[in-house]
Amino acid sequence: MRDARRKEIRLSRKEIFYIKHLALEVFGKDAEVWLFGSRVNPKLKGGDIDIYIEVSEMKEIVEKKLSFLVKLKDVIGDQKIDVIVKQKDCQELICREAKEKGVKL
């Protein structure tokens, strides 16, 4: 796992702040957030924003995910954003990949 303070990512400080802030607001203070995919590779251009969020409780997760996306697009603009929300300690391949190759915000 890489930390956003030590790794160059292709998002502004404002975008990083709002991704983290809104994830905690919508999913709860124990939510953990990673950015993964092409935006963590400074050599690439473009690409969607891939966000992986781990939560302790999956209650009302569809509503929360939609709320998060609406709020995020309101502050950073209409961009292609993919959000994966999983239970903490998820062992699925996508969970492991996002955490190992991504940047924790």
**Residue ranges of domains in the chain:** 2-104
Residue 6 has pLDDT above 60, yes or no: no
The pLDDT of residue 43? 79
Model confidence pLDDT, tens digit, residues 13-69: 999 999 999 999 999 999 999 999 988 987 777 789 999 999 999 999 999 999 999
The pLDDT of residue 45? 77
Find out whether 79 and 49 touch, Cβ atoms under 8 Å. yes
Find out whether 81 and 72 touch, Cβ atoms under 8 Å. yes
- Please give the structure tokens belonging to residue 14: 């404002």
Cα 13 to Cα 5, 17, 66, 73: the distances in Å are 11, 6, 23, 15
Fold (CATH) for 2-104: Beta Polymerase; domain 2 (3.30.460)
Structure letter (DSSP) for residue 37: G
Residue 5 has pLDDT above 50, yes or no: no
**H helices present in the chain, as ranges:** 13-27, 61-76, 93-101
> Among candidates 93, 51, 89, 88, which has minimal Cα distance to 71?
51
Given the structure tokens 């300690």, which residue do they identify? Answer: 89
